[in-house]
Amino acid sequence: MFSLDIYTKIALFTGERTILDVMYSKNMIEPEVYNHIHYFGKILIHGKVQSGKTAAIIDVIQNPVYNEYKKILIIQNTLLVLNQYISRLTSVGIDFQVVDNKTQEITADVVILMNNKYRREKYKKIGKTTEKYIVILDECDVYFSHELCKGASCEYYVTATPYISKYIGFFDRVIELNADDDYHGFANINIEYLPQLHMSDMVVTKFMQDTQQGLLLMNDLTKTDKMQLRCRRLSRIFKGVPFICLNSRKRLFMNGNESLLRKRSICHIIDIFKTNPHIVIVANRLSLRGLSYTSSDYTRHITHQYSKYKYSDRRNLTNYIQKMRIFGKYKNRPNLTLMVSEMCEKVVNKMINISNTHIDSKELFKCERFNTL
C-alpha cells in the first residue's frame, strides 16, 4: 500500500481520473484539490474531426463547477462558424452574448468572441477585469493560445489536431473524446482513387450514379474564381442540380444561371434544396474547420467528398485532416465515399495513421512524428 502522500502525488502528476475518483469517494482527498486537478489549469479536449467536440464545449459551459465564472468561448474568425454556434447554444437553452462593434457592456455569463483583434480589443475595453472567468478556445491549434488566457482561472483547448510542437508538455490534463458506434471516420467510409483526367466531371457523374439522394462536397480548389468557374460550367452540364459556391459571398449556380444566397448558415442553405435529389457544394476555407454540412433537421448530410492533397506540402497535413467534413456521427449507417486522385494515396495513408494515434496526458505528444510525411 502506498501512503496517502504518494497517492496524492501520483494523482497530481498524472491527473488520472480513476485514482482521483477512488481517493475522493473515500474522503482521502479534499474537494478543493479534486476540483482543482480536474477542472482548473490548462486542459485539452481532443477528439476526431466532427466527433462531438461542440457537445463537450457545451458540457463545460453547463458544468456547475463554473457557475461563478464567466465563460468566454473564443471561436474562428468566420461568420458561418459564429452562426453555427448561435444555433447550437440556442437549441440547448444557453443564454449567451456575442461581442461585436455594437456591444456596450457584458451582461451574459457566456460570451462568444470571434478571434480577431477588433473584437478582442472590444472585450478588453468593456469587460470587467476583476471578474473570474474561464476561456474555451475552439480550434486552438490555429492560434496556439490567446491573450485572455493570461487572467483566466481555467483554460480549455479544443481541437481534433493538437499536433504542434508548442503543445509538448503544455497541458495539465488531456480529455480524449471516444468516438461512439455512430461515428464514421476513415474506418467507416469508402475511399476511391480516381485518375486525374477530367476529374471534376467524373466526380459529379459518379456521385449522381452512386446515390438517389446525396450531398457532394468538393473542397479541392483554393481560388475563388476557379471555384465559381467550376460551378458555372458544371451547372450547365448537370441540369437541375444546385451548385453552391461557398466563399465570402455565397452563390448559387443552377442550369448555368447565377444568384446570391442570403441565408446566414450552411444548414439553412441546405434546407432550401432539401427536396433536390442531389446537392453539390464547392468550398475551400469554409470547409476546413468547425463547420457541419447538414440540414437543420439532420436528414441531409454529406454522402460524398472530393479533396486534393499534395504529398510535397508537409505543413498542411493538419489542414488535410480538418478538411474531412464527411466524418461525423450518423445513426442511419449511410454509405459514405471519399474521392481523391490516385496521386494522393500516400498522404491518405499517413492521415489514417495519425487519426488512429491515441493521445493522453502521459505522453503529451511527440509532435515531431505528426509533422512529417
DSSP per residue over 64-79, as a string?
GGGTTSEEEEEE-S-H
Quick check: pTM over 0.85? no
Sign of torsion over alpha carbons 342, 343, 348, 350: positive
pLDDT digits (tens, 9 = 90+) for 298-342: 889 999 999 988 765 656 777 888 889 999 888 888 899 999 988
Q: Which three cell numbers stand for residue 127?
A: 469587460
Q: What CATH number labels 40-178?
A: 3.40.50.300
CATH 3.40.50.300 domain range(s) in the chain? 40-178, 183-355
Task: In whole angstroms, give the CA distance from residue 201 to residue 143.
Answer: 37
**Which string of DSSP letters, residue by residue, matches 211-274?**
-SSEEEEE-----HHHHHHHHHHHHHHSTT--EEEESSS-EEEETTEEEE---SSHHHHHHHTT
pLDDT in tens, 238-284: 999 999 999 878 999 999 999 999 877 888 899 999 899 999 999 98
Provide the pLDDT confidence category of residue 344 given band limits of 50, 70 and 90.
confident
d(CA 305, CA 307): 7
225: left (phi over 0), alpha (psi -120 to 50) or beta: alpha
The reported pLDDT for the residue numbered 326 is 93
Torsion of CA 202, 206, 212, 215, to 10 degrees: -70
Cell of 167: 503543445
Q: May I ask the CATH class of domain 183-355? A: alpha beta
309 vs 17 pLDDT, higher one: 309
Please, which pLDDT band fits residue 198 given cuts at 50, 70 and 90?
low
Residue 231 CA to its chain's centroid (Å): 26
Confidence of residue 370 (pLDDT cuts 50, 70, 90): very low
Which range has the top average pLDDT, 166-170, 172-176, 220-224?
220-224
Buried b (16+ CB within 10 A) or exposed e, 16-44: beebbeebbeeeebeeeebeebbbbebbb
Better pLDDT: 170 or 278: 278
Question: Is 90 exceeded by the pLDDT of residue 171?
Answer: no
- What three-state secondary structure class fits 113? strand
C-alpha cell read off for 81: 462558424
pLDDT at 367 over 50: no
Confidence bin at 3 (pLDDT 50/70/90):
low
Say whether pLDDT at 366 is over 50: no
Kindly report the backbone phi and psi dihedral angles of residue 351, in degrees, each rounded to the nearest multiple of 5, phi listed first.
-60, -40
User: Cα(236)–Cα(64) distance, rounded to whole angstroms?
Assistant: 55
H helix or E strand, kind and range, residue 337: strand 337-341
Determine what percent of the chain is predicted with pLDDT higher than 90: 43
Rounded Cα distance between 196 and 200, Å, is 9
Distance of CA 143 to the CA centre of its chain: 14
Model pLDDT, residue 254? 96
**Position 82 pLDDT exceeds 70:** yes
Concatenating the DSSP letter of every residue in 175-225 gives EEPPP-TTEESGGGSEEEEE-STTHHHHHHHHHHHH-SSEEEEE-----HH
Helix orientation angle between 31-39 and 4-14, rounded to the nearest 10 degrees: 20
